[in-house]
Amino acid sequence: MAKILVTGGCGYIGSHTIVDLIENGYEVICVDNNSRSNPAVLEGVQKITGKTVKNYKVDLCNFDDTFAIFQENEDISGIIHFAAYKAVGESVEKPLLYFENNLYSLISLLKCVQEFSIPWFVFSSSCTVYGEPDQQMVTEETPPKPAASPYGYTKQMGEQILGEFQKASKTQAILLRYFNPVGAHPSGLIGELPIGKPQNLVPAITQTAIGKLPKMMVFGDDYPTRDGSCVRDYIHVCDIAHAHTLAIKYLQKGHNAAGCEVFNLGTGNGVTVLEAIKAFEKVSGVKLNYEIGPRRPGDIMAIYANNDKAKMRLGWNPERTLEEMMSTAWNWELKLKQDSSLHENSNFQMN
């Protein structure tokens, strides 16, 4: 079976994707400098799959070290590139850190792709590229708007870099635009490990429910939506993970006629913040301590995916419900409370 290099494989989405790739018969190697993750995550992957995944602890911005991985593994057929920094607020404070890490790492990797003629490349993009869209439901044809943050620009630029690179090479590329990945593996052995105070909704909910945070804030209930709170398209991380396996299969079958294809990865359902909280309360039986606060600067009122293209071309069928997203996230939070070794994730600082 083909060998796939997963970058950022110790991270949240990368670790779930490694599990899915292994379960679908792929051989996987990982490169992650653990700047934003705990290497113990791969032990969780091992417990789920029974396979040990080798991690190269390398900073992808370092071309020589990255090149050496390819020299050692001349049989790599595909790359799934997750490695990046992803905190929107931090990117506003430290734009150069984001441009440097997210773009240098991509370029250094693509130089290796070129040198070693790697046939398939899958890139983690985001619905952030749509900015505040004119229509709430976006298709892949919806024109990108200026990004709201340096992080968002790194995704837009990453897409452009890949588009131009692909035209000049034989590598086939897929850009996956994730909506809001949430939840955890049903085993409770891997999940999201937010650094510091969580900025994203679901970790904020679970950390409040377990008592790590005294209460949480709903950022605004005065938007022109059905209950006044913002609308997002929450998608289970295992469904996102499986889309990567399908993307690799698609490239493997040579279906990627366009050379560099874009796919939205969302459920197609918009959910408000208050609905997400209700779903959590229902599955956990915990009454959440929350308050309505002011709007968060830079927040988009409403966005959700038209996912027809991924369904039709990749054969993707996101099947997990909002309740499953919440129950697996809660199960993971409960497991984290028991397992102090994963708490060591907080041993690293934001740069």
Ligand X SMILES: O=c1ccn([C@@H]2O[C@H](COP(=O)(O)OP(=O)(O)O[C@H]3O[C@H](CO)[C@@H](O)[C@H](O)[C@H]3O)[C@@H](O)[C@H]2O)c(=O)[nH]1
Residues forming contacts to ligand NAD in the complex (CB under 6 A) are 8, 10-14, 31-37, 59-61, 82-86, 101, 105, 124, 126, 178, 181
The answer to whether 4 and 76 are in contact (CB under 8 A) is: yes
Partner interacting with residue 34 (select from ligand NAD, ligand X, none; CB below 5-8 Å by kind): ligand NAD
Side-chain half-sphere CA neighbours of 32 within 13 A: 30
Angle at 115 between CA 113 and CA 121, to 5 degrees: 10
Q: Which is nearer to ligand X, 108 or 126 (CB)?
A: 126
Within a 10 A sphere around the Cβ of 291, how many other Cβ atoms? Answer: 8
Strand partners, 122: 80, 174
Specify burial of residue 68 (Cβ count, 10 A radius: 0-12, 13-18, 19+): middle
- Residue 86 corresponds to which amino acid? K
Q: Looking at beta carbons, which residue is closest to ligand X?
A: 230
Please pick, among 12, 98, 151, 223, the residue that the annotation labels catalytic.
Answer: 151
For the segment 1-60, give every residue that binds ligand X (CB under 6 A).
none
CA–chain centroid gap for 249, Å, is 19
Among 126, 156, 206, 245, binds ligand X (CB under 6 A): 126
DSSP, collapsed to helix, strand or coil, labels residue 235 as strand
Partner interacting with residue 46 (select from ligand X, ligand NAD, none; CB below 5-8 Å by kind): none
Q: Which is nearer to ligand NAD, 160 or 255 (CB)?
A: 160
Partner interacting with residue 230 (select from ligand NAD, ligand X, none; CB below 5-8 Å by kind): ligand X
Determine whether 153 is an active site residue.
no
Which residues are part of the catalytic machinery?
151
Residues near ligand X (CB under 6 A) are: 86, 88, 126-128, 178-180, 199-201, 204, 216-219, 230, 232, 273, 296, 299
